[in-house]
A and B are shown apart, each in its own frame.
Chain A
Amino acid sequence: MYSFSPSEEQQMLIDAIRRYAMDDLRAAARDADEEGQLPPELIEKGWELGYLQASIPEDYDGFGERSAVSGALAAEELAYGDLSGALAVMTPGLFATPILLAGSEDQKQKFIPPVIEMEWKAYTAALMEPRFDFDPNDLKTTAKLEGDTYVLNGLKSYVPYAEQAEAILVYANLDGQTQGFIIPKESQGLAIGERQKLLGLNALPLYNLALEAVSVPMANRLGGDQGHDFGPILSSANVAIAAMAIGVSKAALDYAVEYAKDRDVFGVKVAQKQSIAFMIAEMGIAIEAIRLLVWEAAWQIDQGLPDAGKSAYLALSGAMDATMMVTDRAVQILGGHGYIREHPVEMWMRNGRGFANFSGLAVV
């Protein structure tokens, strides 16, 4: 059957996150973007909502089951508040969720509880690389088995909170396959580079990494001796990023609608002009259309359907275009005011452009 109503439990999650997203994340977003940092207590408050903890089974000290649909709903709501803040709150999931999805039993027992049992801590992951044609399925960072350890070499970028990370899940190319390796912070040969300066996401600390002959014991290869299938992790990442694109788009749309209904022009409200009203209609339609694609992909992931990977890819493909269109139009609807940093729409437009690039910055 088809159904488009979140469950009661999901609705409670959405409502709780929405309050936090508006009262806390949104309220802090502009200052955070200007100052280039997020207050730790802000992140902690979001962490305490327990979204990640609720997606980890009791065996690993969590209190629920993972659901990509619930994850997509949560990610959209968080990003509705502020994308940088949302990604910060979700950063430990970059480490814990792939281990839950693809880790060996030993790895789950060992690595997941420390992430979720206490306050927010910087556990993170490194997938992206500084190349124009970066491809998560064709990494240039390599892993080679030498004796009984893997040796990793290469450059990584866009690694959230790498500077203060307790451990990093680094993805590398092993015989043509993307494989994850759990690397403790103090590993030899691992160099944390400068913090990156970007078009958007100014509040989120993102770093370059250099790996030079970093040794990883076999036990730290994600999935153990046999490794793992990278597909489900990438699907989950694509759905997460696509859901956040919808959240940012929705934020921009709602702001533009409010502005257009408030501002007078030629004796009527801006929104009463068809040229503006039609833009708003098309923004609303694009968001609704792509949101359903995201939900469907998430549902397919939860059902373990073989098409899930393709659907997640298509959903993200649609989401990156929709978000660019919507955030650009939000600036346009505010006219010159949209270009001024007093309003958030220019920030959302900068963040919106990134969805074509944010591969693996979140998972659900």
Chain B
Amino acid sequence: MIEFSTPKPIEELQTVVETVAVNMMRPVSRQMDENEHEIPWAFINFMHTAIKSMGGTSFAVDEKDGQKKDQNEEKRAPIGYQRLAYLVEMLSWGDAGMYLCIPGGLLGSAAVAAAGTPEQKKRFLSRFMGDKPVFDGMAMTEPQAGSDTSAICSTAVLDETTNQWILNGEKIFVTAGQKALEESDGFVVIWATIDPEAGRAGMRSFVIEAGTPGCKVTKLEHKLGIRASDTVSIVMQDCRVPFENILGSPTVAKTTKGFKGAMATFDATRPIIASQAVGIARASLELVKEKLKENGIEIRYGLPRQKLTHIEREVIEMEVMLRSAWLLTIKAMWMADNKIHNPKEASMSKVYAGDIVVKITQKAVELLGPLGYSRDLLLEKWFRDAKITDLYEGTGQINRLVVARNMLGYRGSQLR
């Protein structure tokens, strides 16, 4: 049955999250943007307490979601990933940079949840339930290796005498790396090769915990937007981690199965970025409509285009883009919830949402004229924040490649 209603449990949660966005995020949004590298502790501590009191360790999706907890409970379809999309959308509507500061909510824990053994999950994820907020990060990109992850040259060598991995290399663009390694007892999941000759087959991820000798945050980036969120460089110099910190198999098989497993994480994370894009886009469109309304302009839906004003056409086009981007996103997440293979749909949502949030925020600044360009409103900030969604978790172009390969039935080697 084709259906389009927000599940009840999500609807209830949304009301709560909206209150947080309105009261805890929007009022400090401008301040956080103007003071880059200031950490929004009040918001972070509040979110930490809130997440704990709801019984969640992090934003990670409960694997038992949708299964019956006891005989009396009614069975329902799983909605964990869809719930996540709603959460991220609303929090990004509040502030896309501050959303990234939520403890335990980022890609590091997602990677552990996706690829870790039960012991690893316990060891690394239980820290999110402690008294203090703890952060996580994921380090993939290197100065010479962005979208081309096969060019990663950080190395991991096993020291058999101590049973430790020795890690060397430099990582850049690590979201929340500072908070994970210096401001809390968190961790970063880093990607390195255990066999440089093996290409992607040799690629593995490792957990480096805060305080590990040989691992240092070396640079805090200054960015166009999402300034509330820190983005750092990390250098590993003979950094030793226990053997048990490797996620996945320690031996190199001839296949790229391990690497493909890592890429599969993107099937869930790309729609998360799409959700973030939709949140920023909705904030911008709502502000435009609010300002138009203040000036006595109501959009006359239903008229043929020949009778619409230019502004009406623009707003209607923005609404079409916003709603369809959300539906693409929620469909990709619905597939994830129902264990339907979704790399094409995940990338589709990311391409489209990244595109439309950039168009909508650009257009919104234009439509509001001198007001739109001013820092009196948050719109110019959203214009700057928006662009990140077209860049990280695979640029729009990389995701177009993924979509095209899936549509055409091509492997990476056939469509480069």
Show the binding face of A for B, using Cβ within 8 Å. Answer: 1-7, 10, 69, 132-137, 234, 257, 260-261, 271-272, 274, 277-278, 280-282, 284-285, 288-290, 292-293, 295-296, 299-300, 309-310, 313-315, 317-318, 321, 356, 359
List chain B residues, Cβ under 8 A from A281. 351, 400-401, 403-404, 407
Task: Across the interface, name the chain B residue whose C-beta is closest to A289.
Answer: B324
Q: If A277-B415, A292-B327, A292-B331 touch, does A2 touch B304 (CB 8 Å cutoff)? A: no
A-B contact pairs, 20 of them (CB 8 A): A1-B7, A2-B4, A4-B335, A10-B2, A133-B306, A133-B307, A257-B408, A274-B415, A277-B405, A278-B400, A281-B400, A288-B331, A288-B348, A289-B325, A289-B327, A292-B331, A293-B323, A295-B2, A309-B302, A321-B317
Total interface residues in chain B, CB < 8 Å: 47
9 A-B pairs besides A257-B407, A281-B404 with CB distance below 8 A are A2-B82, A7-B1, A274-B401, A285-B348, A289-B348, A296-B4, A300-B4, A313-B302, A318-B321
Decide if B324 touches A293 in the complex (CB within 8 Å): yes
Which residues of chain A are near B345, meaning CB under 8 Å? 288
The yes or no answer to B22 lying at the interface (CB within 8 A) is no
In the complex, the chain A residue whose C-beta lies closest to that of B319 is A314
Do A271 and B408 have beta carbons less than 8 Å apart? yes
Residues of A within 8 A of B319 (CB): 314
Tell me the B residues contacting A by CB distance below 8 Å: 1-7, 76-77, 79, 82, 301-307, 316-317, 319-321, 323-325, 327-328, 330-331, 334-335, 345, 348, 351-352, 397, 400-401, 403-405, 407-408, 410, 414-415
Residue of A nearest to B7 (CB): A1
The answer for the CA separation of A359 and B305 in the assembled complex, in Å, is 12
Would you call the interface of chain A mostly helix, strand, loop, or mixed?
helix
Residues of the A chain whose Cβ atoms lie less than 8 Å from the Cβ of B414? 272
Contact B320 A318 (CB under 8 A): yes
Closest to A359 in B: B304
Tell me whether A314 and B331 are in contact in the complex, defined as CB-CB below 8 angstroms, given that A4-B2, A277-B404, A278-B400 are known contacts. Answer: no
Residues of chain A within 8 A (CB-CB) of B303 are 135, 137
**Contacting residue for A6 out of B2, B79, B302, B408, CB 8 A:** B2
Taken together as a complex, chains A and B put the C-alpha atoms of A140 and B403 apart, in Å, by 47
When C-beta atoms are compared, the residue in chain B nearest to A297 turns out to be B4
Closest beta carbon of chain A to B311's beta carbon, Å: 15
Known contacts: A5-B1, A272-B414, A278-B404. The answer to whether A292 contacts B307 by CB under 8 A is: no
Q: Is A4 a contact partner of B301 (Cβ separation < 8 A)? A: no
Q: Which residue of A lies closest to B409 (CB)?
A: A261
B320 touches A314 (CB 8 A): yes
Q: Which residues of the other chain, B, contact A271 by a CB distance below 8 angstroms? A: 408, 410, 415
